[in-house]
Structure 1
Amino acid sequence: MTSSPATPLTDASEGRFAGRRVLAIGTYDSFVKTAAMIGRRFEAEGASLKLAALAASAGQLSLRQLRAGGVHETVPIVAAQRLVNERLFRDAHVVIAVVDGGRARELFLALAAADLSREPSRPIVAVASPGVVLADHLAGFMSRAPADLVCFNTESDLALYQAAAAEIGVDDTNGIVTGLLGLDHAPRPAPQGRPSVVFFEQPVIPARRMQRLHILGELTALARRFPDADIAIKLRHARDETAHHNARFHLEDLAREVFARGGRPDNLTFTHEPASELLERASLAVTVSSTVAIEAMARGVPTRIISDFGVSEALGTGFFVGSGCLAPMASLTPHMPETVDRDWLAARSGASPDAEALLSRCVGLLQGQDGLGAALPLRSLVPAYGSPDWLAFALGRAGPIALHAPHLIEKPKLGAGLVAAMAKRLRQVRRFTPRG
């Protein structure tokens, strides 16, 4: 998914962020892409922009993934503790962080240890989501709570955060509703040429081998029923690439079993084209619960959410209850009408992103810091990360890893080796410079 670029000012040097430096950081491909898209909104108002990624796993980014997301800059991959001590971070006026919950805790633990409040100034840190929030809502919200600004996709997400914050005493005044800032919601032109059905895969939804075989079988049957239409399967990542969640049963591998019973229809293909380009010509977009469904709905593309496996939180299909778009795969055709409930789309999906709340709050925080002549105080890790007693106990026993990756120290026998391997990997810095 790519977003329509922010409307540039007549003269960016006169923008609200003229002379300011913005650092946009992510983890995996969709995270870096969204961070860059948000960063470009600041750039359109005069800021200079740099990108980086927080180290998460080996091979977490490829050049193809970055290019597909519209990222052509150099993207250093740096561990959080190292990043917050580098000029790249400390010289930034604003840091946009689009990271998973574990990396968010890692980042804010590193910030607390660095104690930037002693500096003449520090970056204003804002966090945002790369897509719809399907699971672990409160855990994810609290992982990001120490940020200066937390961007929420919907009013209901913000309300949940505020309710939980009130229960335990977290300051919730950093919460703002921005919608899905990585979403392109511009209407698309009417598609030309052959009808095109695009299925957008998710790596672990559904997670079971039989479920994924069923999807492939139904898409194959669809291709055979409509030989005059193109059926494309948009893969989340290639076999040798990494995403936030890697596919346990890669569809290209399962396809050998499905096609062995009758071959692959000529009009059925696998693709790694950017989702935005596929939506430009799709007559129907199909998925289980991917964020791309929201983009398709917002852009006027007829969309269906697969209901073959029922409705559940685990599949993310519960998010789409009320959309009017759930349907079994056997009912799919290349010429299905738009059925999305526009009231649901406007109120519940985050499909109308607006960065103004983020931009204006950043302006206010920066001006407040300038007037103070000293770094703004960092927001406390307590109680979002737990009580003072718990933090002292956990950090004293195992250090920051006890809070951002406790599963690594609880594996019998392998724990010490995994921790050592992770520490070594996180010290590494790699740079990618996509080239055309």
Structure 2
Amino acid sequence: MPESATKARRIAVLADSDTRWKWGALTASRLSPEGVAVHLDGYLLRGRATPTPRQLREVGATPDTLREVTAAEFLGAVEREPYDVLVLALVGGAVQAVLHGLRRAWEDRPRRPVVVTGYVGVVYEKLADGLLLRHGADLVLANSRQDAERFRAVYEGVGADASAVTEVALPFLGGDAYRGGEGRRTVVFAAQPSVPGDRAGRAYLLDRLIRHARRHPGRDVLLKLRSRPGEHTTHIEELPYQKLARRADPPPNFRLVYGHMGEVLDTTDLLVTVSSTAALESLHRRIPTAVLTDLGVREALGNHHFVGSGCLASWDQLDEGHLPRPDPGWVARQGVAADGAYATAFDTARARITRLLGRPGGLPPLAPYYSTLTAPGYLPGVLARHHLAPDGTPLPGAPGADRAPGPVRQIVRRAARGAYRHGVQRVAPAIRRMGEL
């Protein structure tokens, strides 16, 4: 009997920030075979970067249910619910903690869901650390052929099973191909919360963008920002461009924009960035794309990932009208399927999940590379940050999934979380800046 004739596939996504929710929710929508409905339950891991309702709406993937949880509460929820697939859209340490928690929670179950994890975008730092923290999932998604090769090399290099690595593509690529045209041109700078992280670098980029607008009054020059004031993303933004822009005197053709990146790209004639994943979205649509070299080509900036892309350029070159030409071979290895192959990018992942769900006798227990045998001085600390003991059980005092908080406790929790985020995101950066004076 075809799967579509039996039931909807139940998928849960656990995410810890706006960008990871975007990746997780859109990945979930692509993991079911054609014709099989998806029931999507969203879980937001409680922390400093929990997305706001506006940030969630921008993604365009509406879950059937949505709730904010701790790691222990999530483990309790998925132990009760008959999910087919779990997508862990989290930072590496959180993935590892949840994997160990799930292993313990499911140790007496004959059948369990398929567990999927991966990366939000370009992987340009902490490759080994991040990958080994994700090991143990049934599928570790790689967004490109290049990533898949690197991921397998890391796992095989430490003697870990590399069979979970599965090549896909970024789930949010799409939109109409760029056709160009006459008339007013639109230049978009895709800002990043923490790249560059210093005031001098951010002030320099803002100044060059404004100077570009003054030099080309016939162009619309847009600064695309990820979050509005008071919102936060995966990375803490200590020096928001909004604050720096207040001290500038931009011309009328310069403005700040928010919203869905795909909608911004609909009217973009040139996308400029330091190393944002938006560059891959732009290249997928064949929009002219520039990766800036003004601050150097450095691992700390992430633009070293674009070496060989043909997209590296400086503001001086862009001011003079230069339009970078991407290298087709480089683009193909990045999962940027501008040739139309994107429609089949998730076929292998879908087939693997269907095969695993139909495995006679169910799936074997989760087996992360990190254990108390391989990493006794590292793993307990990773799990403790999420209130889990070395064996994956919730530590005493951890919020339990079987204790639903009452209305008063919910209000107190929200107030405490707000105070915590304010301290982490506003007070602490201010103190650090004062210490640098």
TM-score normalised over the length of structure 1 = 0.81
| Post-superposition CA distance 1:126-169 (Å, at most 9, x none) | 11222111211111111111101111123332333323322332
Q: Give the drift of 1:103.
A: 1.7
Partner of residue 22 from structure 1, selected from 5, 8, 11: 11
Q: CA deviation at 1:189?
A: 5.2
Contact (CA 8 Å) 2:310, 2:324: kept in 1 or not? Answer: no
Q: Deviations over 1:149-198 (max 9, x none)?
A: 11112333233332332233211111111122332265245467521100
- Superposition pairs of residues 8-87 of structure 1, within 5 angstroms: 15=4, 18-42=7-31, 44-58=34-48, 60-73=50-63, 74-87=65-78
**Equivalents in 2 of 1:172, 1:166: separation in Å?**
6
- Relative to structure 1, the CA distance from residue 181 to residue 208 in structure 2 (aligned partners, 3 Å threshold; closer, same or farther) is same
Report Cα offsets for 1:200-250 as digits up to 9, x if no partner: 000110111100000011011001001111110011212201111021111
Q: Quick check: 1:27–1:60 contact (8 Å CA) kept in 2? A: yes
8 Å CA contact 2:312, 2:324 repeated in 1: no
What is the aligned length?
392
> 1:413: which partner in 2?
none
Deviations along 1:324-383, whole A, 9 cap, x unmatched?
Answer: 111111222496545111111001x22135111110000110110xx21xx4222323xx
Following TM superposition, by how much is the alpha carbon of 1:53 offset from its aligned partner in structure 2, in angstroms?
2.9
The answer to whether structure 1 residue 272 and structure 2 residue 258 are counterparts is: yes
Quick check: 281-290 or 23-32, which moved more?
23-32
Per-residue CA deviations over 1:302-334 (Å, capped at 9, x if unaligned) read 010010011111101110001111111122249
Partner SS for 1:281: coil
Question: Aligned with 1:150: secondary structure?
Answer: strand
Structure 2 unaligned blocks of 5 or more: 390-394, 415-437
Residue aligning to 1:380: 367
Q: Does 1:332 align with 2:318?
A: yes
Give the secondary-structure state (helix, strand or coil) at the position aligned to 2:174. coil
Distance in structure 2 (CA, Å) of the matches to 1:66 and 1:425? 26
Letter in 1 for 2:366: R
Q: 1:20 to 1:120 in 2, by over 3 A?
A: farther
Root-mean-square deviation over aligned CA pairs: 3.1
Where does residue 329 of structure 2 map in the other structure?
343
* Among candidates 400, 403, 416, match of residue 383 of structure 2: 400
Tell me, in whole angstroms, the C-alpha distance in 1 between the residues paired with 2:167 and 2:373. Answer: 30
TM-score calculated relative to the size of structure 2 = 0.81
Q: SS at 1:64's partner residue?
A: helix
Cα deviation per residue 1:253-282 (whole Å; 9 max; x = unaligned)?
11233x1xxx22111111112111111111
Instruction: Assess, with a 3 A threshold, how the Cα gap between structure 1 residues 21 and 245 changes in structure 2: closer, same or farther.
Output: same
Cross-structure match for 2:295:
309
- Quote the residue 2:278 is aligned against: 292
Q: How far apart are 1:54 and its partner, in Å? A: 3.9
**Residues 220 and 94 of structure 1: is their aligned pair in 2 closer, same or farther, counting only changes over 3 Å?**
same
- In the alignment, the residues of structure 2 paired with residue 192 and residue 101 of structure 1 have an alpha-carbon distance, to the nearest angstrom, of 46
Percent of aligned positions that are identical? 29
Instruction: Specify whether residues 66 and 184 from structure 1 end up closer, same or farther in structure 2 by C-alpha distance, changes over 3 A only.
Output: same
Mapped partners of 1:51, 1:191: distance in 2: 43
1:387 Cα offset (Å): 5.3
